[in-house]
Structure 1
Amino acid sequence: MEIDRKFINVIVLGLAFMLIFTAFQTMGNIQQTVIKSITQEDPTFKADGFISLAIIYAVLSISNWISPSIISVIGPKWSMLVGGFFYSLYIASFFLQQSWALYTCSALLGFGAALIWTGQGNYLTLNSNGTNISRNSGVFWAVFQCSFLFGNLFVFFLFQGREQIDQQTRTILYSVLLVVGTLGLLLVLVLPAMKDSDAARNSNSKSGDGPMATRGTQLAQGPLDAFLRSIKLFFTKDMGLLSVAFFYIGIEYSFLSGVYSPSIGFTLEFEDSKRLVGLSGIFIGVGEIAGGALFGILGSKTVRYGRDPIILTGFLTQAVGFFLIFLNIPDNAPFGDTTDTAFITSSSFLAILSSFLVAFGDACFNTQVYSILGGIYPNDSAPAFALFKFVSSMASAASFFYSPYIGIHPQLIIIGILLFAGTICFWLVEWRSVYKRAHLIETSNPDSAVDKEFD
């Protein structure tokens, strides 16, 4: 009964994030397109969508160093609630159509994002153990990524046949997204509060991730301890290797969610290109949901057979997707409307297929990152997930800062190099984990099962 209750917590958590990020991810996906329309009506509006997103991820990156300390004081539930409020505030800022309001709320959102995501990783871990962390990660990811599907389906119909996103259309858009995000906050509010001592109880039952899942008793005791453990954890060998994968995820996801879909909308070779922005977002959601659902179902086998086959699947699907984008989208598409041709005749089908493939691969990487962090660092889940978000957010901020200045083809070359490096580094950590687990089985000495979270 207890396990069922905790699984229900995971599902409710996923639903809450689905609603909150239906608002935010939909806005992020179309933000540059909307801002261009506002600028055409009001030339005094000088904001830039890429700069807004860069501010969000830069502040998020820095804030991740203090989010574990805050969570140690108020707990993951209230951290997620405070963080979620700033997401709603960010959506509301678009009503003002003022650059200062957008950039200020972007900075506040960056701080809130650190709280909500570190709290989410901590809360997911507290509701999981070594045998179900992969399943729970996959289920959360599949439910959460429905945000891409529903939000962009709404945009697909709302923007139908519109070359210019007028004031009335934008008002409808902001209002609906704000209501949806607020409903997500209400779901977070109904989640039961949990504390780090629940991790110890999880450790006493069904810990199945080998030496990495053995739950010790050393838990963060306060804000300063949480901060110091974050610093210590950052300089371990495994975290150093994983940081390469984290950096890739940040670059890749910012490209997928903030650069690629607007580039489709700016490619005038496509028929009804603005409408395709919403359709691209829908298939990003389909890819994310498919990946999360598949690896949620196979979660019980992930620990047994290793995470590397799933990472290989993600590598291959993303490599194909990025190559198709390279051929199908003109280099200057991120900068605004263009009639330039790509290497091939731009195909709407290939554009949408690429959205699906890259998103499916993104789900492969993210579900396995959640799984490996929850397995290796059960007693330090808040610092571990904070470091994941620190590195990935730093990468996303860098991506959004350079996106307005370099074409889509150089961006894809950078992504391709990081995809290869990130995959190799993740495999190295996974193989180390498998080796330690096999070594423990050989020794069959329970006393040797010490939690080797720090090398």
Structure 2
Amino acid sequence: MGPEGKKLLNIIILGFGFMFMFTAFQTCGNIEQTVIKSFNSTEFHGSGYTSMAIIYGVFSASNLIAPSVVTVIGPQLSMFFSGLLYSGYIAMFIYPYTWSFYTASVLVGIGAAVLWTAQGNVLAINSTDTTIGRNSGIFWALLQFSLFFGNLYIYCAWHGHVHITDKDRQTVFISLTVISLVGCFLFFLIRRPDPDPAPSEASEALLQGESIEGSSTVSSAHVGLCSQALDAFVKACKMFVTKEMLMLSLSIGYTGLELTFYSGVYGTCIGAMTRFGQDAKSLIGISGIFIGIGEILGGGVFGMLNKWNQFGRNPVVLLGLITHFIAFYLIFLNIASDAPLAPEAGTELQAYITPSVPVAMLCSFLLGLGDSCFNTQLLSIIGFMFRDNSAPAFAVFKFIQSIMAALAFFYSNYLLLHWQLLILVVMGFLGSMTFFMAEAMAESTRRESDYDSI
């Protein structure tokens, strides 16, 4: 196998490793609040929402130490050990205790930052200027398939179950732990590629830390580790207060809030709706699949359209906003307001229309589609505006998104559904308006550079 074939195989193995790991972890996040409500133990007093708030809060802060970890032990071992932390979090649900639940949440937050930093590094050293787009696409597609398999398994395992027994829970979480561990060990199949005579610009940018989701910053191994972490921190702080990033911060913050809603809150609401009948719990899985279909469709279409888009990024963001507003309105009509906070037995309340499963699944699809609209365009505009400094820019992007996701998971413990939807509507509107302003600024910058080149 030639050098290019070896690199492509590495990317495919990387994608499959992440697919297995996130099949387990995303499914765990989708069902954990529903599972926690079913515990018979009086010793356990944890909240799935609080756990996710801790994970995202620690994740955002840990972006500062992740580059040093990856530089010291290398990307392969970094991904393996981070993956073990994810597996430990999932395994904790087999015999849960409050202390182990929250300890595992902190560890996963640290692991997430290291994992995504190492992923960016592996993507970089296996890509060139000409293959970076293809490799990112292959990785993204394999990662998104994780939404299908785990949620399909939940649907099959919990079909017809009104109450989640200890045996139901243990069976599901033992299976998810094994799936997660398979993903961890796949990372050992990644082979170091033959060194290129001169690294490409795209590889250099990614080696400095831009992962596919712009998660962190990986600096050169030759720089001292302390100065490297400090340098990344100082660069990110300077980036944070630029006019462009401040303008984009509302729309980035909105993606954090709606990430919380579709990945944790909405599935819990569906599972709590007793008027959906005996299948309410298993419908959480089907909802996750529809979110995945929306994400993959949106990511694929808008990723491809970027090359030929004559109208800029605004129409796609506007489509995302309209899509989300329709979804929020239908959820408001369809789901009872106390569903996010309902006990294990669920809620008997009805919203404004007779609860409809097809409407609930349509909303799941719209949430995924709208999310991909915002994220593809934000990654595009940040990559354009901060082309010379993309690594710290994407680190700031992930930092803002994670902080807002943590905040949203925290308030999800206390706010009824209609208040959560109102926050999303207001933030979505403000975020879109400031995005349009940032796009106008980017367009004028592009015209100036075109004029200068002429």
By the TM > 0.5 criterion, same fold?
yes
Distance 2:388 2:200 in 1: 7
The reply to whether residue 251 of structure 1 matches residue 262 of structure 2 is: no
Post-superposition offset of 1:219: 7.3
Contact 1:82 1:115 in 2 (8 A): no
| The 10-residue stretch of structure 1 (140-149 or 50-59) with the greater mean CA deviation from structure 2 | 140-149
Residue 202 to residue 162, structure 1, CA distance change in 2 (3 Å)? closer
Does 345-354 or 1-10 show the bigger shift?
A: 1-10
Cα distance, 1:19 vs structure 2: 1.6
Shift in Å at residue 351 of structure 1? 0.5
**Partner SS, residue 43 of structure 1:** coil
Residues in 2 aligned to 1:257 and 1:175: alpha-carbon distance in whole angstroms: 21
- Tell me what 1:355 maps to: 364
Match of 2:189, as an amino acid?
A: V
Given the superposition, is the C-alpha separation of residues 312 and 78 from structure 1 closer, same or farther in structure 2, using an over 3 Å criterion?
A: farther
What are the Cα deviations for residues 25-83 of structure 1, in whole angstroms up to 9, with x where unaligned?
Answer: 10010001111112xx2222222111111111121122223334444555555543433
Q: How far does the alpha carbon of each residue in 1:62-120 deviate from its partner, in whole angstroms, 9 at most, with x for none? A: 22233344445555555434332211111111122111111100010011112223444
**Contact 1:57–1:110 under 8 Å retained in 2:** yes
Kindly provide the CA deviation profile for residues 350-391 of structure 1, in whole angstroms up to 9, marking residues without a partner as x. Answer: 111000001111122223333344444456444333222211
Residues 143-182 of structure 1 mapped to structure 2, 5 A cutoff = 143-182=142-181
Contact kept? 1:65, 1:387, Cα under 8 Å: no
Match of 1:49 in 2: 48
TM-score normalised to structure 2 length? 0.85
1:232 is aligned to 2:238: yes
Residue 378 and residue 7 in structure 1: after superposition, are their counterparts in 2 closer, same or farther (change >3 A)? farther
- Which whole-Å CA distance do the structure 1 matches of 2:365 and 2:125 have between them? 31
| Cα deviation, residue 256, structure 1 | 0.8
How far residue 15 of structure 1 moved from its aligned partner, in angstroms, is: 2.9
C-alpha distance in 2 between matches for 1:34 and 1:114 = 26
Q: Which one of the candidate residues 262, 266, 285 is aligned to 2:292? A: 285
Q: Secondary structure of 2:275's partner?
A: coil
Would the alpha carbon gap of residues 383 and 358 (structure 1) be closer, same or farther in structure 2, given more than 3 Å must change? same
CA positional deviation for 1:345 = 1.1
Aligned to 2:395: 386
Q: 1:407 aligns with which of 416, 428, 437?
A: 416
1:424 partnered with 2:433: yes
Shift of residue 305, structure 1, vs aligned partner: 5.2
Amino acid at match of 1:167: D
Contact 1:68 1:382 in 2 (8 A): no
Structure 1 contact 62–390 (Cα < 8 Å) conserved = yes
RMSD of aligned Cα (Å): 3.0
Between 86-95 and 101-110, report the one with greater CA deviation. 86-95
Superposed displacement of residue 123, structure 1: 5.0
Shift of 1:424: 2.6
Residues 134, 367 of structure 1: 8 Å contact kept? no
Instruction: Read off the aligned partner of 2:230 and give its amino acid letter.
Output: L
Structure 1 contact 161–275 (Cα < 8 Å) conserved:
yes
Aligned-partner SS, 1:269: helix
Shifted more, 376-385 versus 418-427: the winner is 376-385
Aligned to 2:209: none
Structure 1 pair 317–137 and aligned structure 2 pair: CA distance change class (3 A): farther
Measured in 2, the distance between the counterparts of 1:6 and 1:426 equals 36
- The answer to whether the 8 Å contact 1:327/1:344 transfers is yes
Gaps of 5+ in 1: 205-217, 446-455
Shift of the 120–319 alpha-carbon distance from structure 1 to 2, 3 Å rule, reads farther
State the 1:14 CA deviation.
3.3
Equivalent in the alignment of 1:30: 31
TM-score by length of 1: 0.85
Aligned CA distance change for structure 1 residues 434 and 17 (closer, same or farther; 3 Å): farther
The CA distance in 2 between the partners of 1:282 and 1:57, in whole Å, is 23
Amino acid of the structure 2 residue aligned with 1:31: E
Distance 1:370 1:102 in 2: 33
What's the offset of the Cα at 1:193? 5.5
One-letter amino acid matched to 2:376: T
Distance 1:410 1:108, change over 3 A: same
In structure 2, C-alpha distance between the alignment counterparts of 1:381 and 1:68, rounded to whole Å = 15
Alignment of 1:43-442 (within 5 A): 43-71=42-70, 73-74=72-73, 76-121=75-120, 124=123, 139-191=138-190, 198-200=199-201, 221=223, 222-271=228-277, 272-301=279-308, 306-336=312-342, 337-377=346-386, 380-442=389-451
**Are residues 170 and 88 of structure 1, via their aligned partners in 2, closer, same or farther at CA, if it must alter by over 3 Å?**
same
Contact 1:139–1:293 (CA under 8 A) maintained in structure 2: no
Residues 1:61 and 1:161: Cα distance change in structure 2 (over 3 Å):
same
How many angstroms apart in 2 are the aligned matches of 1:260 and 1:198? 44
Instruction: Provide the C-alpha distance between the structure 1 equivalents of 2:5 and 2:446, rounded to a whole number of angstroms.
Output: 28
Residue identity matched to 1:22: T
1:129 and 1:442 mapped to 2: Cα distance? 29
Gap runs ≥5 in structure 2: 206-218
How many pairs are equivalent? 429
Residue 429 of structure 1 deviates from its aligned partner by 3.1
Does the 8 Å CA contact 2:273/2:348 hold for their aligned counterparts?
A: yes
> Partner letter of residue 291 of structure 1?
G
Is 1:76–1:120's contact at 8 Å kept on the other side of the alignment? yes
Residues 88 and 178 of structure 1 are in contact (CA less than 8 Å); yes or no, is this contact kept in structure 2?
yes
Q: Secondary structure at the match of 2:282?
A: helix
Say if 1:118 and 1:234 are closer, same or farther in 2 by CA, change over 3 A: farther
Deviation at 1:396, TM superposition (A): 1.2
Larger deviation, residues 392-401 vs 231-240: 231-240
User: Partners of 2:311 and 2:60 in 1: how far apart?
Assistant: 33
Name whichever of 92-101 and 152-161 sits farther off: 92-101
Distance 2:406 2:116 in 1: 16
Which segment is superposed worse, 245-254 or 71-80? 71-80
Per mean C-alpha deviation after superposition, the further-off stretch among 246-255 and 7-16 is 7-16
